[in-house]
Amino acid sequence: MKMNILIITMLALIFSSCSESNGGEEPPEPTHELSVEPTNISAFAEGSESNISIKSNTTWRITYDNSSFFRPSITTAKGDATVKITIDENQQAEERNGTLTIIDSDETLEEIIITINQEAGEEVIDPEIPDYIEPDMTGVESTASELANKMIVGWNIGNSLEVPGGETGWGNPKVSETLIQGVKDAGFNAIRIPCAWDSYLENQEDYTIKESWLQRVKEVVDCCVSRDMYAIINIHWDGGWLEEHPMYEHQDAVNEKQAAIWKQIAKYFRDYNEHLMFAGTNEVRENYGNPSTENIEVQESYVQTFVDAVRATGGRNTYRNLVVQTYNTNIDHGVNYHTMPSDDTENRLIVEAHYYDPYEFTIKTDEGYKTQWGEGYTDVTDWGQEDHLEAQFQKLKTKYIDNNIPVIIGEYSAMLRGDMPADQQALHEASRNYYHQKVNEIAKANGITTFYWDNGYTDKDASGLFNRSTGEQVHTEAIEAIINVYN
C-alpha cells in the first residue's frame, strides 16, 4: 500500500512539473510552412521544361496570367510537390519575362514569386492566311439534320473560356484534357464552349484577336474533337458589347465588330471537319421582356452578319454547319418572331434556344424560389411543369424540325439547393434529377439535342456536375438522370 502511494505521489510531481513548464496551456498549433526552389528560371529561346520543388505542410496555390508563354502542370495541392513549368518557344526577337505567384490557401504566409526569363528568339513571320479559299466539302458532308442526329447529348464548359480577361477569373481551373475525358467517359459526346473575344483583342481599332487566345481556344477544341466529340464555339456574353445591344443606335458598330471577329475565327478554324461548329451569338436582348420590332431586326442582323462572315472565308466553312439563335434564345420569341438568316449553302443551319423554365425552380436565388418540380412533389410553382415543358418543345418541333431545321437546347439546368433538413434535401435532389431526366426525355421525343449548363461549382446554388480539376463525377445521380435517357 505504501508503495502504491509513493508511485502516485511521484506521478503527480511529474505531471505538475510538466504543467508548470508550459503554464498549463495546450501545445501551440503547428505553423504553416511554404518554401520553393528555385525562385528563378532561365529558358532558351526554343522553349523548355523546368521543375520547381514546393515544400509545404498546408494547401497552396499558383496564380499566373494564363495568356503567358508558360504553364505550370498543377496549380493547387496540399503538402510537398514537384511542379513542371512548360515554357513555349520564343518566336520574337527580344527576351521576355514573367512571374508565377505561390501562396498558401489561407494567405497567412508571405507570397513567393517565381521569376521566369527567356532569351530572345528569331522572329518567325507566319505566312498570310488567305481571306478566302476554294470551297471544300471534305469532312463536312453532313447536313444540319444529319449532324444534329450525331450529337447525342451535350454539355457546356460554363464560366471558363467566356470569362472576360482570364479563363480562371471566375474560380474554375483551366480546362484540361482530364476534364474533357471525364465528360466523355460519363456519356456526353458534344461540348458547347462559350467564348469571350473582346477582352482578348490587341486593339479596338481593327479588332485583331490575340494569337495566344486563338491558340488557347484551339487547345480546348482539340481536346474535344480528338476524342471524336462534337464542339461548338460561340461569342458569349463577352462583356455585353453584342449581347446587350439589339438597338438601331448600336447596329452598325456592332455589326462591324461582329464581322471582323468572325472573319478571324472562321479563318483560324477553317480546316476543321464537321466535328466543329460555330454559333454566332448567345442571349442577345435589350431586356427580358417581349422584343420590339427594332430588337428583332437588329438581333437578326447580327446573326446574318455571322453567317455571311463565315461563308465568305470559303474552304470547309462553305459547308460548315452553323448555329443561329432566337431572340434571347427564348422559345416563344423564336416561335413568334424568328426568321432564319439567308444562306447560300442549303440545309446547314441549326437553331439554338435555351430552357430555364420555371425560373423559380431552376435559377432564382432570392425570396420565392422553389426547391421541387414535377408531379408528386409539393414545393413547386404553379406553372412550368411537365405539360409546359412538353408544349414548349412541341412548338420548336412544329416550327423548325418539321421543316427540316434541327434545334439544340444550348443551355438548361436546375441549380442545386442546400441548407435544408436532410429529408427536404433528399426530396429536392430527387426532384432536380427528375427535372433533368424529363427535359431530355421530351427533347429526345421531339428530335432536339440538349446541352447541360455546367458552371463548374458543385455546391449549393450551382449547376456543376464534375470536379473541374480531376474530371471526376461529383453528382453522379444527376448525370445518370441525363445520360440514361439515351442508353
Alpha carbon distance 273, 319 (integer Å): 10
Tens digit of pLDDT for each residue in 9-41?
A: 444 444 444 444 455 556 666 688 899 999 999
> Any idea how long the chain is?
487
Tens digit of pLDDT for each residue in 62-91?
A: 988 766 889 899 888 888 999 999 999 898
Question: Which of 53-57, 350-354, 373-377 bottoms out in mean pLDDT, i.e. has the lowest?
Answer: 53-57
- The set of catalytic residues is 283, 411
Domains parsed from the chain with CATH numbers:
34-118 (2.60.40.10), 144-486 (3.20.20.80)
DSSP H or E run through 104: strand 96-104
Query: Residues 464-481: what's their mean pLDDT?
Result: 98
Residue 74 has a pLDDT of 87
User: Residues near 64 by Cβ (< 8 Å), separated by ≥ 6?
Assistant: 70, 72, 98, 99, 100, 101
Q: What is the DSSP code string of 31-82?
A: PP-EEEE-SEEEE-TT-EEEEEEEEESSEEEEE--TTSSEEES-SEEES-EE
Q: Over the Cα atoms of the chain, what is R_g?
A: 28
Kind of pairing between the strands at 40-43 and 48-56: unpaired
Alpha carbon distance 28, 274 (integer Å): 62
Query: Residues 111-122: what's their mean pLDDT?
Result: 90
CA dihedral 122, 123, 126, 127 (to 10 degrees): -80
Query: Residues 464-484: what's their mean pLDDT?
Result: 98
Q: Which amino acid is at 185?
A: D
Query: Residues 280-291: what's their mean pLDDT?
Result: 98
Overall pTM surpassing 0.85 (yes/no)? no
**Residue 293 burial (C-beta neighbours within 10 Å; 0-12, 13-18, 19+):** exposed
C-beta of residue 303 within 8 angstroms of C-beta of residue 325: yes
Under the banding of pLDDT at 50, 70 and 90, the label for residue 124 is low
Evaluate the CA torsion angle 321, 287, 168, 121 in order and state its sign.
positive
Query: Residues 271-279: what's their mean pLDDT?
Result: 98
Place of cell 528569331: 122
Residue 179 has a pLDDT of 98
